[in-house]
Amino acid sequence: MKSVVYVAVAVAAAATGFAIYRYGLAPQVTPQPAPVAALAEPEPKVPTDLPDFTLEDRDGNRRSIRSWSGKSMIVNFWATWCAPCRREIPLLREINKTHESEGFQVVGVAVDFRDDVLKYATEIGIDYPILIGEQDGFEAVSSFGMGSLGFPFTVFTDNQGRIVLTHLGELTKTQSVVMLDAVKRVNSGELTPVAARTVAAGQLDDLEPAEG
């Protein structure tokens, strides 16, 4: 199983030079100049709703990502070898604790070796639910239709399971505030998921100079 995952993921990572600890996924890279015809190719399509996938939890039980019915999900794909993933875990813990009463639920999906994940999660005190997979974890990431992905990758849904926002890369505190607010406005009926994405995109663009 491990060799299958290593080959599948390493091939993708080799194309972009992503640093791998055991195995990884290729991060998003800045596209090179291309002919007009190439630029006209359709963009990867992210599903409207959170895909239903099932992986093992910490206790070894199979659990669907849709088990948290009625929750606004923050699904964070990560791996123990990924430095940005490790850096953002304290923020995810804070979000889960602070916004739990508002109906938000953080779930970490570790695409990594089970023993490594359990050891690391215990060492740093991850206190939100974790699902773990190797090849099936890789397939779970692929279900978002984004093609080549890097870690961390985070998905924000509303309380109906509709995908409101996705974020590739390390999540910052100010970015999370914008994204959580967008989800809240969808939950309240003020915005549709599409409108929320447009509003959040503008706000996130304004953050870039300050955080860059």
Residue with structure tokens 């490790």? 86
| Residues 165/156, Cβ–Cβ less than 8 Å | yes
The predicted structure's pLDDT at residue 113 = 97
Percentages helix, strand, coil for the chain (3-state, rounded to 5) are 45, 20, 40
Domain borders along the chain are 45-170
Over 90: is that where the pLDDT of 75 sits?
yes
Class of domain 45-170: alpha beta
Mean predicted confidence (pLDDT) in 183-189: 98
Across residues 73-80, what is the average pLDDT? Answer: 97
Res. 24: pLDDT tops 80: no
Using pLDDT thresholds of 50, 70 and 90, give the confidence band for residue 208: low
pLDDT score at 146: 63
Q: What is the pLDDT of residues 100-143, one digit of tens each?
A: 999 999 999 999 999 999 999 999 999 999 999 999 998 998 89
Instruction: Assign 30 a pLDDT band (cuts: 50, 70, 90).
Output: very low
Rounded Cα gap, residues 69 and 58, in angstroms: 20
Residue 42: pLDDT above 70? no
Residue 23: pLDDT over 90: no
Residue among 91, 51, 64, 79 nearest 173 (CA):
91
pLDDT at 34 over 60: no
| Global confidence as pTM | 0.78
At residue 22, what is the residue type? R
What's the pLDDT at 37? 39
Alpha-helical segments (H) within 31-172? 36-39, 83-99, 114-124, 135-142
Closest CA to 159 of 102, 98, 198: 102
Is residue 184's pLDDT more than 60?
yes
pLDDT of amino acid 148:
59
